[in-house]
Structure 1
Amino acid sequence: MARATDAYEQHLADHERDRRRAQGSFYTPPELVGWILDRALPRTADATVLDPACGTGHFLVAAAERLGVRAVHGSDLDPEAVRIARERLQALDATVTADEIAQRVVVADGLTAWAGRTFDAVVGNPPFLGQLRRRSAGRSEEHRRGLGAYTDTSAVFLHRALGLVAPGGVVALVQPLSVLAARDAGPVRAAVAACGAITDFWTSDRPVFEGTPVLTCVPVVRAGAGPATDPDAWGRLAAPAFGVPSPVLPDDGPLVGDLADCTADFRDQFYGLAPFVREALPGGTPLVTTGLIDPAESRWGTTATRFARVRYDAPSVDLAALRADGSLARWADARLVPKLLVAGQGRVIEAVADEHGAWLPSVPVVSVVPRDSADLWRLLAVLLAPPVVAHAATRYLGTGLTPGSVKVSARQVAALPLPPSSGAAAWAEGAELARRAQHAGDADERAGLLVETGRVMTAAYGAGDDVLAWWAARVRRRTDESGAVAGSAPA
C-alpha cells in the first residue's frame, strides 16, 4: 500500500505540479500531522474524526492508527486521492469492509458535505486558494457568505469546521500565516471567538510545505473553552516564533486618528500622476515613493527610485501642468499640507515629517495630516516609538510581503495608540528628539538621535528594554540596507 501512495505522490510531483498549485493542495509533513493529532484527538473509544479535505489520507491514516479505522471520516474533490486514502485505511484493518470505508471517505466538497453531522475532532490541511482563483476549485458559495471577499479557501474551511465540531471537541486545520491579521479573515477569527478558544498554536518562520513559499500556522480551537481568543490579537500567538516582543499598550485610550486624518491613495492617483512626473524638474514638486522614506528621513534626491516602471534620481511633479489638467488638482492641494508620510511596510514603521507641505505622496504611501500643526512632531515620535512598532508588528503579523516586515494601512495607522497620560512629559521630549533627528546634519548624528527618541518613547509607553533593543536592531539594519533603487506600485 505504501508503494501505491508513493507512486501517486511522485506522479503528482513529476507531472501534476501545476494542477496542485492551482488547487492550492500541498501535503503535510508527518511531524506536523503528529503534532496536530496529539492535541486534537480525544482518548475515548467511540471518538470520531473528520478531515474535510483529506487528499490521500495522511491525517486519516495517522488518526486511524490511534483510534481505529471506523473512527475516521474524510472528503476530497479528487477521486484518485480518495481511492488511495480508502485503500490505505483498508490495509490497516482487514475487518473493515470496502463499503464501510467508502461511506466514511467520500468524493465530495468538504465545504458542503457532512451537513447535520458533528465530530469530536476536525483536522487537516485544507487547500490554500485565494478568492481570485477560487472558482477553479469548485468551492461552494454558501459557506463564503458573511466572509470577506478575499478570504482564503483554507480559512473558509476553518469557518465551516466550527459548525462540524461537537461541544468540547477540537478544530485544528493548517492555515496560511495571513489568517492571523488579514482583514478579510476577520469574520473567521470572530467566529472562532464565538465558538471557543485557541488552546494551542503552531507556526514556523520558514516554509514547511514543498513547492510553496507560504508560511503557515495551526490554531488549535477547542469548542466551548474560554476565555475566547481576541479576534484582533491572533498575532500575539505567533510573535514569539518571529522574535517580536508583545508590549501591552492601552486599548481604551486616545489613538493617532484622534489627532490626525490618515489617508492612502489608490490606482487613480498613481496612474493619474504618471504623465506629470519628470526627472529633477526645476521648481517641480518632489514625489516621495515608499522606498524613499526612512525613519525621520526622506531620501528624495539622494537615492534612486522607480515610479510607473521608470527609474528616477529625483522624481518631480509638474504641478502647473497637473493643475491645468484639472483631474488631480483638488487631490494635490489636499496633500500639499504639513503632514507625515508613512511607508506601507518596512522593518519598522518608517515615517518622515513634511513640515512645509512641499511633497506629494506616491501610492502606497500613507499621509497623516494633523488637525493641529503643533502635533506634527508628537505624531512622528509616536510612529517611531518602539512599543508602537512592536504593537503593529504583532497585531498585523503575516500580512506583509515578508514575516519580518511591519505593514500598516491608513486605517491601521489611525488605530495606533497614543502614550498614556503618565507618559506626557516623555512624549514631549520624544517629539523634540524626533524633530532633531530629522534635521540632523549627518547619518551618525541622526542614528544617535533616533535611538534616543526610541529610548524616551519606550519610557513614555511604560514598555521594557527588550522592546527598545528589538526596535533598535531593526532600525540599524534598515539603515544599513538603504540605498538601493526603491520602488512604488499602485495599491
Structure 2
Amino acid sequence: MARRDDEDDRRSSDAYERHLADHERDRRRAQGSFYTPPDLVAWILDHALAGAPPEATVLDPACGTGHFLVAAARRLGVRAVHGSDLDPEAVRIARERLAAIDPTVPDADLERQVVVADGLTAWAGRTFDAVVGNPPFLGQLRRRSAGQNEEHRRGLGAYTDTSAVFLHRSLDLVGPGGAVALVQPLSVLAARDAGAVRTAVAGRGAVTDFWCSDRPVFDGTPVLTCVPVVRVGAEPPTDPGAWGRLAAPTFDIPAVALPGDTGVIGDLADCTADFRDQFYGLAPFVREGLDGGTPLITTGLIDPAESRWGRTSTRFAGTTYDAPAVDLAALRADGGLARWADARLVPKLLVAGQGRVVEAVADVRGEWLPSVPVVSVVPRAVGDLWRLLAVLLAPPVVAHAAARYLGTGLTPGSVKVSARQVAALPLPADEVAWAEGARLAERAQAASDAGRPELLAATGRVMTAAYDAAPEAFGWWSARVARRPDGKRPPLSDPAAAG
C-alpha cells in the first residue's frame, strides 16, 4: 500500500467527497450516506470515550472515508480503531489516511482493521469499548444490502430506519461500561417502528448524553439528526417512551410534569383514526359545496376550538375544495362505507393529525365526517365532550405531547399525535379548574373570530392551573396558537412564532 503524508490523505478524502457531491448525489441518497462535520465527530468521541481506558478500542461499522477512524486514531493510536463499509473506494481512502498517521502499522493489519463488508455482520463475536459513527439513513423500502440482513431486523418494526438497526446491532458490540454513539434521524426519538430499538437500549443501559440540532447539519439532506450516547450497564434505564424529552430543550419545548394517576383520555372516550380504505373510499362521493351534503373535515380545517370549513380552502384526494362535502345518500346507496359513516356521525371531537399545537374542535351534533388522518374522539358520556376539548387545549398536555412525540411530524417542532397517543394523554387532577376550563372551551368554540383568542387564552390559563403546571407552558402554547393580523397562523419556521 502506498504511504501518503497526512495532508495528502486529507486532500484525498476531501476530493473523494467532492466527487460524491458533484457527480454522485443520486448514489449518496440511494445509499443514505452523508458525511459528518468535524465538530460533531469530536463531540461524539469526547462523550463515547469519556472514562475509557488508554487502551480502548473503537469501531465505526459504516466508516466511509474514515472521519471517525482518523479522529479516534489521533487520540488512541491507529491500532485501536476498526471500521467497515460497503464502498471499496471509501475503505481504501480510510486505510490510507490511517497509514499516514502511523506508517509502522503493516498494510495487512490495516486491511484486517478496516474492511469492505456489511457493518451489521462483519464484527460478530467481537466487542469494543465504543461504537461510533454515522450509519446510512434508509427506510425499509429503500435500504441497501446493509439493511437487508433479516437477522438484525428480526423483532424490529417493518419500517425501522437502517440507522436504528445499526444502533440496535451495536448494543452487542460493546462490553459493560462501553458506549454506542451513532448519528440517528430525529424520528428515532418517537417513531413507532423504532420502539423496539428504544426498548432494547433500556434493557441494556441508558442514554447518558445527547446531542441534536433544530437545523439540518448534513449537506444534501433536510433530515434533522440526533446522537443518543448509550452507555451499556448505566442506571437508571432511559424510558423507551420518553426519548423525545431529551431533545425538547433544543426546540424550546417547556418541561412539564403531569400527574400519573388521574387517568387518561382513553378512560372517557374511544379514539380512532381512519386509513387508506376510508380515504380512497370517500373520494368518489366528495363534492364542492353540495346542498344537503355532509361537511368533510380535513386536518387543515381544524384549529383550536374552531372549524374553518367553508371559510378556508383545503385539498382532498388531489383536489382543492372551498367547502368539501360528502354526498351521504350516494355513499349509503353504494354501501361500502355506510356503516363507517354512521359510526362517525355522532357527537365527537376531531383532532388534526399534526399542527403547531394539538388542534381539536367539537362536532356537537355529529354532523361532520373526518378525513384521514383526522382522529375522532367519541366520549362515552356526551357530557364529557367539552371537558375533553379542554384537556386537548391544555398547554401542559400540548407541551407533553410535543416533547414525547418529537421528531415524528413532517415539520420541525410540529405536534403530531395518533389515535393511540391521544388516548394516552393524561387527565387533570383539579376537577374544579377542569370544569371551568370546559366551560371556557365551549364558549371559545361558540365565539366570533374576534372574541375567540381571549377565550382560548382564558381556557389555556385555567387548564394550566388544572394540571398545576408552571406558567412557562402557557406562554409557549399561547405564542404557538396565536394568529397573525392576516388571520393566518405563522409557519413553524417563523421566528416571531417562537414567542
TM-score, normalised to structure 1, is 0.96
Q: Which residue of 1 aligns with 2:497?
A: none
Partner of 1:255: 264
Match of 2:21 among 13, 17, 24: 13
SS in 2 for 1:402: coil
- The within-5 A match list for 1:271-290 is 271-290=280-299
Q: 1:26 touches 1:127 (CA, 8 Å); kept in 2?
A: yes
**Distance change in 2, residues 1:477/1:400 (3 Å):** farther
| C-alpha displacement of 1:483 | 8.2
Matched, 1:434 2:476: no
1:168 aligned residue: 177
- 1:225-265: CA deviation from partner (whole Å, max 9, x where unpaired): 11111111111110000000120112343110010000111
For 1:137 and 1:297, locate their aligned partners in 2 and report how far apart those are by CA, in whole Å. Answer: 48
- 1:24 is matched by which residue type in structure 2? G
- Matched with 1:458 is 464
Residue in 2 that maps onto 1:489: none
Matched, 1:297 2:301: no
Residues 286 and 360 of structure 1 are in contact (CA less than 8 Å); yes or no, is this contact kept in structure 2? yes
Per-residue deviation, 1:11: 1.0
Residue 306 of structure 1 deviates from its aligned partner by 1.3
Within the candidate set 136, 153, 162, 1:127 is matched to 136
Q: How does 1:62-461 map to 2 (within 5 A)?
A: 62-135=71-144, 137=146, 139-420=148-429, 423-440=430-447, 442-461=448-467
Change (3 A) 1:467 1:368: same
**Runs ≥4 in structure 1, deviation > 3 angstroms?**
135-139, 477-484
CA RMSD of aligned residues (A): 1.3
Q: Which moved more, 1:313-322 or 1:233-242?
A: 313-322
Aligned 8 A contact 1:339 1:369 in 2: yes
CA contact (8 A) 2:119 2:146 kept: no
Residues 173 and 219, structure 1, Cα contact 8 Å, conserved in 2: yes
- 1:332-363 Cα offsets, whole Å, 9 max, x none, are 10000000000000000000000000111111
CA contact (8 A) 1:347 1:474 kept: yes
* Stretch deviating more after TM superposition (178-187 or 268-277): 268-277
Is 461-470 or 134-143 further displaced after alignment?
134-143
- Structure-2 separation of matches of 1:275 and 1:323: 12
Is the 8 Å Cα contact of residues 162 and 171 (structure 1) preserved in structure 2? yes
**SS across alignment from 1:122:** strand
Query: Which whole-Å CA distance do the structure 2 matches of 1:470 and 1:479 have between them?
Result: 19
- CA drift at 1:478: 7.9
CA displacement at 1:46 relative to structure 2:
1.6
Aligned residues of 1:109 and 1:139 also touching (Cα < 8 A)? no
Segments of structure 1 that go 5 or more residues without pairing to the other structure are 485-491
Q: Are residues 463 and 336 of structure 1, via their aligned partners in 2, closer, same or farther at CA, if it must alter by over 3 Å?
A: same
Tell me how many residue pairs correspond in the alignment: 481
Deviation at 1:403, TM superposition (A): 1.7
Work out the CA distance in 2 between the residues paired with 1:34 and 1:429.
53
1:37-91 CA distances to partner (integer Å, 9 max, x unpaired)? Answer: 1111254232111001000000000000000000000011111111100000000
Distance 1:49 1:480 in 2: 56
Shift of 1:143: 0.3
Which residue number in structure 2 is paired with residue 488 of structure 1? none
Taking structure 1 as reference, are residues 424 and 195 closer, same or farther at Cα in structure 2, changes over 3 Å only?
Answer: same
With over 3 angstroms needed to count, the CA separation of the structure-2 counterparts of 1:367 and 1:43, relative to structure 1, is closer
Once the two structures are TM-superposed, the CA of residue 147 in structure 1 deviates from its matched residue by 0.5
C-alpha contact (below 8 Å) 1:343/1:365 kept by paired residues: yes
Unaligned runs of 5+ in 2: 1-8, 491-499
Is 1:128–1:154's contact at 8 Å kept on the other side of the alignment? Answer: yes
Offset at 1:8?
1.0
User: What is the distance in 2 between the residues matched to 1:293 and 1:479?
Assistant: 19
The alpha-carbon deviation at position 375 of structure 1 amounts to 0.3
Is 1:34 the counterpart of 2:54? The answer is no
Q: Secondary structure at the match of 1:129?
A: coil
Q: Partner letter of residue 14 of structure 2?
A: D
Spell out, residue by residue over 1:259-298, the C-alpha distance to the aligned partner (whole angstroms, 9 max, x if none). Answer: 0000111111111111111111111111111100000000
Residue 19 of structure 1 deviates from its aligned partner by 0.4
C-alpha contact 1:57 1:85 (8 A) present in aligned 2:
yes
> What residue is the counterpart of 1:487 in the other structure?
none
Q: CA deviation at 1:444?
A: 2.3
Q: In 1, distance between residues paired with 2:70 and 2:467? A: 51
